[in-house]
């Protein structure tokens, strides 16, 4: 369903932009576009697909953010401005294009993105909540189901709507108040009759997987085109992380198909070397300015080196630009032993805040990438001291070392800081999701969203 919604948004956006181009040509020449459309269609098509990439970076295809509010439409306005700026570069710096459509580019921006915002408004108001709506029945009441229900209610644009919950036992008054508006029944048919609605998705918790009466109803539901999914699969799909209640040796053996990832992993090494060289060139260009700023702002070394745990649990030294004050004799900012960095950490210098927001402090890790110790994308490497603590709490923590650690990763684009043991165990859920699903499409998504973080200066 998520991919269908994203594809619908993409097709609608491109249609709006093409309609904007057609309208721009009409307004410019006051005649139905003909020969001039043929002249413009190829170069503008390249730009319109670039617009889709910019919109992706701006978060326009993050279903949880597609809401009819100023913050969302502001992102589209910013994307339109960036697109027009790149369009100017495209037409005026590349002389072989043959056309220099100043007015057409301006009109396409105004009209095309204007139509796009109207389309998005209609989509958010009607299509996502009506035409693409999925009615859900949960079989069971668990903490994970309550968490999902709260998020689904908070994000109606996701298109999910909970109509009922199957429960073996009467629900407490307190829980019933929290689930107000959701029908609670003993069977699927009871919920369908009470709500006068048919479920399109039935999510089964582990306690109901072998319930014979429910299995008969599930079989009947197949003829009503209902999708039947396990709670673990639905949770993983909606939350984009692996639910901890599935953690077991059997689950990992059945789901982490490492043998099938060998071709991808080998090709990724080539991509890492190529991108590592590019990052190195960028670092060489800006390092003199960064080094000078660090030295002027605070006493201490320019670079910071620290032990981290890599693939297969092998330790290596990670390189960064120093962003914290020197508070200890060894040049670190730790006076009471290893500790997690915190949001708005007082140890971070003024220059360090800028370096972190722009992720410039991470650029020296191109050395780790070229040495084969890190990848561009993967779980962020942790310190050995923290790994030992986390492994004591969660024995399966070592699974994140199946792949190389990364400069950026799936967990990082969902939250900048994981400052406690509990938060780092939640990060493991995201890391395992990446390890299970890693492919070039997911990598491209992570790179684009990391670019968005850098451009918005949202790094920490």
Of 98, 131, 164, the residue at which a domain comes to its end is 131
- State the average pLDDT for the chain: 89
pLDDT at position 116, please? 96
62 membership: H or E segment, kind and range: none
More confident: 241 or 99: 241
Per-residue model confidence (pLDDT) at position 331: 65
Closest-CA residue to 84 (of 57, 101, 105): 105
Same domain, 12 and 118: yes
Q: Is the pLDDT of residue 100 over 70?
A: no
**CATH number of the domain residue 217 falls in:** 3.40.50.720
Residue 336 CB neighbours (<10 A) = 7
Max CA separation in the chain (angstroms): 76
* Residue 460 located in a structural domain: no
More confident residue, 11 or 338: 11
Residue 99 above 60 pLDDT? no
Could you tell me if 202 and 227 are in contact, meaning their C-beta atoms sit under 8 angstroms apart? yes
Q: What is the pLDDT of residues 275-295, one digit of tens each?
A: 999 999 999 999 999 999 999
Residue 4, pLDDT score = 83
Location of structure tokens 């960095």: 341
Asked if residue 245 is part of any domain, the answer here is no
Based on the fold, state whether residues 433 and 421 are members of the same structural domain.
yes
Answer for the pair 348, 393: CB distance below 8 angstroms, yes or no.
no
Lowest average pLDDT, out of 165-169, 323-327, 355-359, 443-447, goes to: 323-327
Would you state the structure tokens that stand for residue 272, as one six-digit string?
Answer: 């890492």
Task: Give the pLDDT score at 173.
Answer: 82
| Least confident interval from 117-131, 189-203, 300-314, 367-381 | 117-131
Mean per-residue pLDDT, 225-241: 94
Mean pLDDT for 430-438 is 96
Residues present in the chain in total: 460
The better pLDDT of the pair 308, 73 is held by: 308
Residue 98 has pLDDT above 60, yes or no: no
413 and 298 in a single domain? The answer is yes
Residue 85 Cα distances to 49, 139, 453, angstroms: 15, 52, 20
In a domain, 218, yes or no: yes
Q: Report if residue 253 sits inside a domain.
A: no
Instruction: Check residue 174 and give its pLDDT.
Output: 82
Mean pLDDT, rounded, for 379-402:
93
Helix axes 421-437, 384-393, angle to 10 degrees: 90
Q: Is the pLDDT of residue 455 over 90?
A: no
What total number of domains does the chain contain? Answer: 3
Cα(343)–Cα(345) distance, integer angstroms: 5
Phi, psi of 135, rounded to the nearest 5 degrees: -85, 130
Q: Same domain for 289 and 404?
A: yes
Which among 127, 114, 113 has a CA at the least distance from the CA of 54? 113
401: its two tokens: 């070392």
pLDDT of residue 94: 63
Pair (194, 233) in one structural domain = yes
Looking at the structure, tell me whether residues 145 and 29 fall in a common domain.
no
Contact 360, 290 (CB under 8 A): yes
Query: Is the alpha carbon torsion for 151, 156, 159, 160 positive or negative?
Result: positive
User: 76, 105, 131 — which closes off a domain?
Assistant: 131
pLDDT for the residue numbered 458: 66
Rg (CA), the chain: 26
Range of the domain at 40: 2-131
Nearest to 104 by CA among 41, 16, 11: 41
Residue 110 confidence class, pLDDT cut points 50, 70, 90: very high
With 0-12 / 13-18 / 19 or more C-beta atoms within 10 angstroms meaning exposed / middle / buried, residue 382 is buried
Q: What are 142's two structure tokens?
A: 């668990």
pLDDT at 236: 95
Per residue in 158-189, is it b (16+ CB within 10 Å) or e — as a string? Answer: bbbbbbbbbbeeeeeeeeeeebeebbbbebbe
Query: What's the pLDDT at 269?
Result: 95
pLDDT, mean of residues 425-444:
93
Instruction: Specify whether 36 is located in the same domain as 156.
Output: no
- pLDDT of 329: 66
Burial class from Cβ neighbours inside 10 Å (0-12, 13-18, 19+) for residue 70 reads: exposed
Instruction: Provide the phi-psi class of 59: left if phi over 0, else alpha when psi is between -120 and 50, else beta.
Output: left
The predicted structure's pLDDT at residue 459 = 65
Same domain, 121 and 149: no
User: Residue 456 has what pLDDT?
Assistant: 77
Answer yes or no: do 41 and 104 share one domain.
Answer: yes
Q: Which parts of 31-187 fold into alpha helices (H)? A: 35-57, 70-93, 102-107, 113-122, 143-154, 173-178
Identify the CA nearest to 60 among candidates 76, 80, 44. Answer: 76
User: Which residue is listed with tokens 């582990």?
Assistant: 206
**pLDDT, tens digit (0-9, with 9 covering 90-100), for 207-217:** 998 899 999 99
pLDDT of 402? 95
> Is there a domain that residue 248 lies in?
no
Query: Kindly report the CA angle at 162 between 159 and 167, in degrees rounded to 5?
Result: 155
The pLDDT tens digits for 125-184 are 888 777 778 999 999 999 999 999 999 998 888 889 999 999 988 888 888 888 888 999
Other Cβ atoms less than 10 A from the Cβ of 341: the count is 16
pTM: 0.86
Q: Residue 146: count other Cβ atoms within 10 Å of its Cβ.
A: 15
Rounded Cα distance, 328 and 331, in Å:
5
pLDDT of amino acid 90: 82
76 touches 167 (CB < 8 A): no
Closest alpha carbon to 141 in 228, 211, 231, 212: 231
Write the pLDDT tens digit of every residue in 341-366: 766 778 889 999 999 999 999 999 99
Question: What does the alpha-carbon distance between residue 252 and residue 254 come to, in Å, rounded to a whole number?
Answer: 5
Boundary residue ending a domain (210, 239, 268): 239
Give a yes or no: residue 338 inside a domain: yes
| Same structural domain, 124 and 138 | no
The per-residue pLDDT for 431 is 96
Distance of alpha carbon 389 from alpha carbon 337, whole angstroms: 14
pLDDT confidence of residue 62: 85
Per-residue pLDDT tens over the stretch 237-247: 999 999 999 99
CA dist., res. 374 & res. 381, Å (int): 9
Q: Residue 171: what pLDDT?
A: 83
Q: Could you tell me if 104 and 116 lie in one domain?
A: yes
Whether residue 203 contacts residue 138, with contact meaning beta carbons closer than 8 Å, is answered with yes
């Amino acid at each position: 369903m998520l991919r269908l919604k994203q594809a619908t948004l993409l097709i609608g956006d491109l249609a709006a932009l093409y309609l904007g181009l057609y309208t721009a040509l009409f307004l410019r020449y006051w005649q139905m576009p003909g020969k001039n459309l043929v002249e413009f269609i190829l170069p503008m098509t390249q730009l319109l697909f670039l617009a889709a990439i910019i919109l992706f970076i701006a978060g326009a295809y993050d279903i949880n953010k597609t809401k009819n509010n100023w913050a969302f439409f502001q992102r589209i306005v910013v994307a339109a401005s960036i697109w027009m700026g790149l369009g100017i570069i495209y037409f005026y710096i590349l002389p072989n294009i043959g056309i220099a459509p100043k007015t057409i580019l301006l009109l396409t921006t105004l009209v095309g993105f204007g139509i796009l915002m109207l389309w998005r408004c209609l989509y958010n108001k009607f299509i996502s909540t009506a035409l693409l709506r999925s009615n859900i029945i949960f079989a069971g009441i668990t903490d994970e189901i309550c968490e999902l229900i709260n998020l689904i209610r908070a994000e109606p644009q996701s298109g999910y709507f909970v109509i009922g919950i199957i429960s073996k036992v009467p629900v407490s008054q307190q829980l019933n108040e929290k689930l107000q508006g959701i029908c609670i029944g003993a069977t699927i048919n009871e919920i369908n009759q009470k709500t006068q609605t048919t479920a399109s998705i039935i999510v089964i918790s582990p306690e109901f997987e072998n319930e014979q009466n429910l299995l008969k109803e599930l079989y009947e539901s197949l003829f009503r085109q209902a999708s039947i999914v396990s709670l673990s699969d639905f949770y993983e799909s909606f939350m984009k992380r692996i639910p901890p209640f599935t953690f077991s040796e059997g689950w990992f053996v059945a789901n982490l198909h490492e043998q099938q990832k060998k071709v991808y992993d080998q090709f990724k090494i080539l991509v890492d070397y190529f991108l590592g060289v590019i990052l190195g060139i960028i670092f060489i260009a800006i390092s003199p300015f960064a080094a000078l700023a660090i030295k002027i702002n605070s006493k201490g070394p320019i670079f910071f080196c620290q032990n981290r745990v890599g693939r297969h649990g092998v330790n290596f030294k990670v390189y960064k630009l120093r962003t914290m004050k020197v508070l200890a004799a060894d040049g670190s900012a730790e006076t009471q032993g290893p500790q997690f960095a915190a949001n708005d950490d007082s140890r971070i210098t003024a220059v360090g805040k800028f370096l972190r927001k722009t992720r410039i402090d991470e650029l020296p890790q191109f050395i780790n990438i070229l040495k084969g110790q890190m990848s561009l994308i993967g779980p962020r490497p942790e310190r050995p001291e923290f790994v030992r603590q986390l492994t004591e709490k969660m024995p399966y923590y070592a699974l994140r070392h199946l792949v190389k650690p990364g400069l950026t990763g799936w967990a990082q684009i969902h939250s900048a800081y994981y400052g406690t043991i509990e938060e780092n165990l939640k990060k493991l859920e995201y890391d395992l999701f990446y390890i299970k699903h890693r492919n070039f499409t997911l990598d491209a998504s992570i790179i684009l969203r990391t670019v968005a973080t850098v451009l918005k200066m949202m790094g920490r």
